[in-house]
């Protein structure tokens, strides 16, 4: 048996086992959310991502201000670097 043929047999066997183990009829889909719950759940899911994006924007603005000679922006950036 050649090497590629053996690999194909093992791959087929692994996919068969995964398919048999993964198909469980007792697993049910998650229940639907009520319309009132959608904004709350979205805020939970994306709240941290929006905060991270805002911090990246603020840091970009601080770096731009520092490049234009703003000493306060430079101090804030140095403070951030020291306290990470």
59: nearest Cα among 36, 76, 40: 76
Within a domain: 55:
yes
Whether the per-residue pLDDT at 61 is higher than 80: the answer is: yes
pLDDT > 70 in the chain, percent: 92
Within a domain: 28:
no
Domain extent for 53: 38-84
Task: For residues 26-48, give the mean pLDDT.
Answer: 85
Within a domain: 22:
no
Please state whether the predicted TM-score (pTM) of the whole model is above 0.75: no
Within a domain: 11:
no
Q: How many domains does the chain have?
A: 1
Winning range, highest mean pLDDT, from 20-24, 28-32, 33-37, 72-76: 72-76
pLDDT at 7: 83
């Amino acid at each position: 048996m050649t090497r590629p043929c053996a690999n194909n047999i093992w791959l087929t066997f692994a996919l068969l086992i995964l398919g048999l183990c993964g198909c469980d009829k007792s697993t049910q889909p998650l229940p639907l959310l009520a319309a009132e719950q959608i904004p709350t759940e979205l805020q939970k899911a994306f709240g941290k991502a929006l905060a991270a994006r805002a911090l990246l924007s603020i840091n970009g603005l601080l770096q731009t201000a520092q490049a234009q000679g703003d000493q306060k922006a430079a101090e804030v950036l140095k403070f951030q670097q020291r306290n990470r």
